[in-house]
Amino acid sequence: MNGLKDARALLSRSERLLVFTGAGMSSDSGMTTFRGKDGLWRNRTAEELSSLAGLRSHPELVWEWYGKRFVAQEGVKPHQGYTALADMQRRKGRMPVVTQNVDGLHQAAGLTEVYELHGSMATVSCLDGCGFRGPFRRGMLETLPPTCPECGGLLRPDVVLFGEPLPEGVIQEAFRLAGQWADLLLVVGTSMLVWPAAGIPWEALRAGVEVIEVNPEPTALSDATGVIWVPGRAAEVLPGLLGT
Ligand code: APR
């Protein structure tokens, strides 16, 4: 199977479409990816920057990095690929979206039933266990690392850090949707390198669900049986792919 024509035919026939996205979905809104050529991890290891151990051992460095990402996100708007997804969700009546992204752009585009596998940058919590959780505010970056307004302890972004479990129940629901509910899976902008999230498309294929992948670069998924790889950028491909 190949090409845009086959993919469009599958999408128009699908009654239970599941969408799975990665950092590449936000790239055309100006958010850098992690592993692409402009990737964020290029000069530091993920473990060093985005792990609980890293946050405890050098909180200023980690918060400086996250602060840059928070600030980079201010004013970032969802591109037309997100709008195309939201329009498709309205037409389908239901279209769950499972994302690895923590930037909230799917919701900003009006998408509902969004499963955030890796948490969200919208809130921060107290790492020292006093139970505080609140919206992230840019003012928190004035003094690094930001401290808990309740107890003065260290604050953490409410994203899943390397070495941490994913939010209870979310990954299980994502696998259930892929393996037991969906009749088609649309994968956009993921390198397919971080597990267990990367297992979701393989779960769909195991269940006999066809997969459409939108990515300018091939991944481990692209030449698998049952996958239509549509080479291209999300903002460029999705409007034509999903349009009526
Ligand atoms: N449109 C679609 N795909 C794109 C675009 C674009 N405009 N630009 C880049 N891509 C693709 C890249 O080719 C790559 O395959 O998006 C993918 C981005 O891969 P990663 O940066 O590894 O992002 P992701 O797969 O989401 O990483 C998974 O790793 O670091 C952790 O928690 C972090 O959620 C993240 C997880």
DSSP letter for each residue of 140-172: GGGSSS-B-TTTS-BEEEEEPPBTSPPPTTHHH
What does the alpha-carbon distance between residue 138 and residue 165 come to, in Å, rounded to a whole number?
Answer: 27
Q: Which atom of ligand 1 is nearest to the CA of 219?
A: 15
What distance in angstroms lies between residue 142's CA and the mean position of ligand 1's atoms?
30
Please tell me the predicted confidence (pLDDT) of residue 36: 64
Classify domain 32-75+120-159 at the CATH topology level: SIR2/SIRT2 'Small Domain' (3.30.1600)
What does the alpha-carbon distance between residue 137 and residue 158 come to, in Å, rounded to a whole number?
Answer: 13
Name the residue at shortest CA distance from atom 25 of ligand 1: 190
- Residue 75, by phi and psi: left (phi above 0), alpha (psi -120 to 50) or beta? left
Give the binding-site residues of ligand 1, using a 6 Å CB cut-off.
22-24, 27-28, 33-36, 39, 46, 100, 118, 188-191, 193-194, 214-217, 219, 233-234
What does the alpha-carbon distance between residue 101 and residue 122 come to, in Å, rounded to a whole number?
Answer: 12
Instruction: Say if 1-31+78-118+165-244 and 32-75+120-159 have the same CATH topology.
Output: no
Going from N- to C-terminal start, the domains of the chain cover 1-31+78-118+165-244, 32-75+120-159
First to last CA, the chain: 21
Flag residues of the chain having pLDDT under 70. 1-2, 36-48
Q: Over the stretch 111-144, which tens digit does the pLDDT of each residue have?
A: 999 999 999 999 999 998 899 999 999 899 999 9
Name the superfamily (CATH) of residues 1-31+78-118+165-244: TPP-binding domain (3.40.50.1220)
